[in-house]
């Protein structure tokens, strides 16, 4: 059952304060689904690659949304999920050359199979690449080919534009 305090806190945060909501284990699946369905919510991760055992979200946040909340639970449609992962955050952050596929934009592209994409990272084994993502392009360079990192370091620090 959903904790009414957490649900109210989530509503207040989304609607009033525009704060981010970290998903701790105290948030129910129902709350997560409601957050994802909210028109102003976006999908992102605060995880960074680090030595040792990073949090599984480092490797699995976006594939999990696609497999669990799109394909399995049907919380979001595929176009809604993609928009919440790409165009919405880019627009919110003022990244004018990212977030959509269009001539003149940076070519940050993830090629995935919506029927097989799935996160594989676990707490015990967090450094597991997801399945169903054969290619990733960063700034037009192939960073992942046939599911394996190519060694390309084409990314760059992005700054919010006002």
Concatenated DSSP letters for 87-108?
Answer: HHHHHHTT-TT-SS--TTS---
- The whole-number pLDDT of residue 90 equals 93
Task: Report, as an integer, the average pLDDT of 59-82.
Answer: 96
Please check whether residues 76 and 90 belong to one and the same domain.
yes
Among 47-51, 106-110, 113-117, where is mean pLDDT lowest?
47-51
Q: Give the pLDDT score at 22.
A: 53
Structural domains counted in the chain: 2
Are 113 and 139 in the same domain? yes
- Is the domain of 46 the same as that of 110? yes
Give residue 6's pLDDT: 46
Asked if 13 and 91 sit in the same domain, the reply is no
Same domain, 162 and 114: yes
**114 lies in the same domain as 37:** no
Is residue 106 located within the same domain as residue 91? yes
pLDDT digits (tens, 9 = 90+) for 10-41: 555 555 545 555 555 567 889 999 999 999 99
In this structure, the answer to whether residues 86 and 123 fall within a common structural domain is yes
For the chain, the average pLDDT equals 85
pTM recorded for the entire structure = 0.80
Do 23 and 32 contact (CB within 8 A), yes or no? yes
Q: Which two tokens stand for residue 104?
A: 């003149």
Domain span including residue 27: 1-41
Assigned token pair, 38: 């909210």
Whether pLDDT at 5 is above 60: no
Residues 23 and 50 in one domain: no
Residue 152, both tokens: 């390309």
């Amino acid at each position: 059952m959903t904790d009414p305090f957490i649900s109210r806190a989530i509503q207040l945060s989304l609607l009033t304060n525009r704060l981010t909501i970290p998903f701790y284990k105290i948030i129910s699946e129902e709350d997560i689904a409601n957050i994802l369905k909210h028109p102003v919510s976006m999908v992102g991760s605060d995880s960074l690659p680090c030595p040792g055992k990073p949090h599984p979200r480092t490797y699995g946040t976006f594939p999990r949304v696609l497999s669990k909340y799109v394909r399995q639970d049907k919380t979001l449609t595929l176009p809604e999920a993609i928009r919440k992962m790409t165009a919405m955050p880019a627009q919110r952050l003022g990244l004018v050359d990212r977030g959509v596929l269009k001539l003149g934009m940076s070519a940050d592209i993830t090629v995935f199979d919506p029927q097989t994409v799935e996160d594989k990272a676990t707490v015990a084994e967090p450094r597991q690449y997801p399945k169903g993502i054969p290619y990733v392009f960063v700034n037009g360079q192939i960073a992942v080919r046939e599911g394996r990192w190519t060694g390309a370091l084409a990314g760059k620090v992005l700054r919010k534009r006002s």
